[in-house]
């Protein structure tokens, strides 16, 4: 096995050590490590033929597929960084990401290429179900850093922002995961999270590093609890990673009692609070599994972790800091430092999200408020800003407000959030209309579906004549929360 400095070397090592092991499974399709590596090399050659080189960014816009994974590794082999784009998101948002990131090319499904025809020239059918299209821009900014991928997440400015990771930063997390969870080539990982979501980094790279099998779960299956319950059992998945929302859905509606889960040794969850009652219900149904609560923003990936005891009676801690990080608490806010932290945000030169200590060491300010228990575990208390988590996705409420403000009939909108009795995140939009006759919750939701990702669409729309204000003439969000 060769030393790994680049993410693509994880695949090359496993292709050499476990050539005939099944690397990926997607429904009836399978591909071995040797075949996956060959396909990635083919994509690398296609990228080099259009002069893609180190420092470029390449977007991928497609449903989850074997070809998507091969494209990721082909891009990395070409020395470029990949930018996964949610193909279900509105065209307007995806165009912003593509233009903001100055991608040199895009690998995309043929049916979606029409949406980006102003930015790209059709180049080649690369022998898979995806096509390669080159950017029309003559000059593109190149990065001198060793970039691996850029994940776009919700931004407080009203637009998504790109979280930049280097190969070295990503490998810090992958190596920590390997040391902590001891995966082997006989393991079978789930790939439930979409590739534009940071949970996918664990699924993809930790499984491939160890020559294990990764079961790709398409979106139409991912949201069907009975199909998921069957898949986990039949594929003999041994390591599962998802948000609590998915596990709750699986436990309550999956009819899990019909299947056996003897292979399922690890259940990892992250991205939101897991209500204790619902967690204990799941634990009774999957008695062979060890459960971990993993915590961390996209900017750090996982930075604290907590192995759950047999019996849980109180709120679940987010745990102790991962061994490849250092943590400190400043004014109740959790700060993280280490080589695994993101390089920064794309096209945002300032380091507003960092604090520099007296030793000139940078700490990422998570925005999460914590207490420290007697055990040394961190306890999550809340946020210092207006960022919330819903189904594991990070949402800046300001981005929803910006989207609503573009509606021609809306004078002003304000968005608040709260948890219901089942700890589910409920988002409410207070809307002032130019014409009160235009009141229609259905039309508001339709508008949002066309301008925001589906996970950002508010649950409620409340039409008001005016928004309450504080003494400094700002929107009184606390009063709106009470009204909601």
Q: Show pLDDT as tens, one digit a residue, over the chain (484 residues).
A: 678 999 999 999 999 999 999 999 999 999 999 999 999 999 999 999 998 988 899 999 999 999 999 999 999 999 999 999 998 898 889 999 999 999 999 999 888 888 887 788 877 777 678 899 999 886 677 777 899 999 999 877 778 999 999 999 999 999 999 999 999 999 999 999 999 999 999 999 999 999 999 999 998 899 899 999 999 999 999 999 999 989 999 999 999 999 999 999 999 999 888 888 889 999 999 988 999 999 999 999 999 999 999 888 778 999 999 999 999 999 999 999 999 999 999 988 666 788 888 888 999 999 999 999 989 999 998 888 888 888 878 888 988 988 898 898 898 889 999 887 766 789 999 999 987 777 889 999 999 998 898 899 999 999 998 888 876 667 888 888 888 8
Q: How many Cβ atoms sit within 10 Å of the Cβ of residue 196? A: 22
The answer to whether residues 111 and 169 belong to one domain is yes
Pairing of strands 130-135, 57-61: unpaired
The answer to whether residues 27 and 162 belong to one domain is yes
The answer to whether residues 299 and 204 belong to one domain is yes
Domain membership flag for residue 1: no
Work out the end-to-end distance of the chain between its first and last CA atoms, rounded to an integer number of angstroms.
Answer: 58
The answer to whether residues 171 and 278 belong to one domain is yes
Q: At which of 371, 404, 437 does a domain end? A: 371
Domain membership flag for residue 382: no
- Give the single-character DSSP code of 279: H
The answer to whether residues 317 and 273 belong to one domain is yes
Cα 85 versus chain centre, distance: 11
Domain membership flag for residue 438: yes
The answer to whether residues 316 and 452 belong to one domain is no
Domain membership flag for residue 285: yes
Q: What is the CATH number of the domain that holds 246?
A: 3.40.50.12780
Q: At which of 325, 346, 371 does a domain end? A: 371
Nearest alpha-carbon partner for 207 in 1, 37, 62, 11? 11
Sheet holding 290-295, edge to edge: 29-32, 22-26, 213-216, 188-191, 239-242, 266-270, 290-295, 304-307, 320-321
The answer to whether residues 61 and 105 belong to one domain is yes
Q: Which two tokens stand for residue 249?
A: 């859905």
The boundaries of the domain holding residue 475 are 387-483
**Cα 52 to Cα 123: distance, rounded to the nearest angstrom:** 13
Domain membership flag for residue 120: yes
The answer to whether residues 152 and 225 belong to one domain is yes
Q: Which two tokens stand for residue 444?
A: 């508001």
Domain membership flag for residue 72: yes
The DSSP secondary structure of 116-168, one letter per residue, reads: GTTTEEEEEE-SSSEEEEEES-S-----SS-EEEEEEE--TTSS-EEEEEEHH
Domain membership flag for residue 206: yes
Q: What is the CATH number of the domain that holds 402?
A: 3.30.300.30
The answer to whether residues 366 and 225 belong to one domain is yes
Say how many domains are in the chain: 2
The answer to whether residues 425 and 301 belong to one domain is no
User: Cβ(283)–Cβ(307) under 8 Å?
Assistant: no
Domain membership flag for residue 379: no
Q: How many Cβ atoms sit within 10 Å of the Cβ of residue 372? A: 14
The answer to whether residues 133 and 271 belong to one domain is yes
């Amino acid at each position: 096995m060769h030393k790994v400095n680049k993410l693509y070397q994880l695949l090359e090592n496993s292709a050499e050590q476990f050539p005939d092991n099944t690397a990926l499974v997607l429904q009836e399709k399978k591909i071995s490590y040797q075949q996956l590596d060959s396909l990635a090399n083919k994509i690398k050659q296609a990228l080099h033929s259009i002069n893609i080189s180190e420092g470029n960014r390449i977007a991928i816009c497609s449903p989850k597929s074997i070809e998507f994974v091969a494209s990721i590794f082909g891009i990395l082999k070409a020395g470029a960084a990949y930018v996964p784009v949610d193909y279900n998101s509105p065209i307007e948002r995806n165009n912003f990401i593509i233009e903001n990131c100055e991608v040199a090319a895009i690998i995309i499904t043929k049916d979606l290429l029409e949406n980006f025809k102003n930015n790209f020239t059709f180049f080649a059918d690369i022998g898979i179900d995806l096509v390669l299209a080159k950017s029309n821009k003559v000059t593109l900014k190149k990065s001198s850093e060793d970039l691996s991928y850029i994940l776009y997440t919700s931004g407080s400015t009203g637009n998504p922002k790109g979280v930049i990771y280097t190969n070295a930063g990503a490998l810090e997390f992958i190596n920590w995961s390997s040391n902590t969870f001891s995966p082997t080539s006989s393991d079978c990982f789930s790939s439930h999270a979409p590739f534009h979501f940071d949970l996918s980094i664990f699924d993809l790279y930790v499984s491939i590093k160890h020559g294990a099998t990764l079961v790709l779960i398409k979106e139409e299956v991912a949201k069907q609890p009975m199909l998921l319950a069957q898949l986990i059992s039949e594929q003999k998945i041994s390591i599962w990673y998802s948000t609590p929302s998915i596990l709750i859905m699986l436990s309550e509606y999956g009819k899990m009692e019909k299947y056996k889960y003897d292979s399922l040794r690890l259940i990892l969850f992250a991205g939101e609070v897991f209500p204790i009652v619902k967690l204990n219900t799941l634990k009774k149904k999957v008695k062979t599994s060890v459960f971990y609560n993993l915590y961390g923003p996209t900017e750090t990936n996982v930075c604290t972790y907590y192995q759950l005891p047999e019996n849980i009676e109180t709120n679940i801690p987010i745990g102790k800091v991962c061994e490849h990080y250092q943590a400190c608490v400043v004014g109740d806010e959790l700060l993280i430092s280490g080589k695994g932290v993101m390089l920064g945000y794309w096209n945002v030169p300032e380091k507003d999200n960092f604090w520099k200590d007296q030793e000139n060491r940078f700490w990422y300010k998570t925005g999460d408020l914590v207490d420290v228990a007697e055990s040394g575990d961190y306890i999550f208390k809340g946020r210092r800003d207006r960022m919330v988590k819903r189904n594991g996705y990070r949402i800046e409420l300001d981005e929803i407000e910006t989207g609503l403000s573009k509606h021609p009939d809306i004078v002003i909108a304000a968005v608040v959030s709260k948890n219901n009795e089942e700890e589910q995140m409920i988002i409410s939009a207070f809307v002032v209309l130019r014409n009160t006759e235009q009141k229609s919750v259905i039309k508001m939701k339709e508008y949002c579906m066309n301008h925001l990702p589906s996970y950002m669409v508010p649950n409620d729309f409340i039409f008001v004549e005016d928004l309450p204000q504080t003494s400094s003439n700002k929107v009184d969000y606390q009063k709106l929360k009470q009204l909601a």
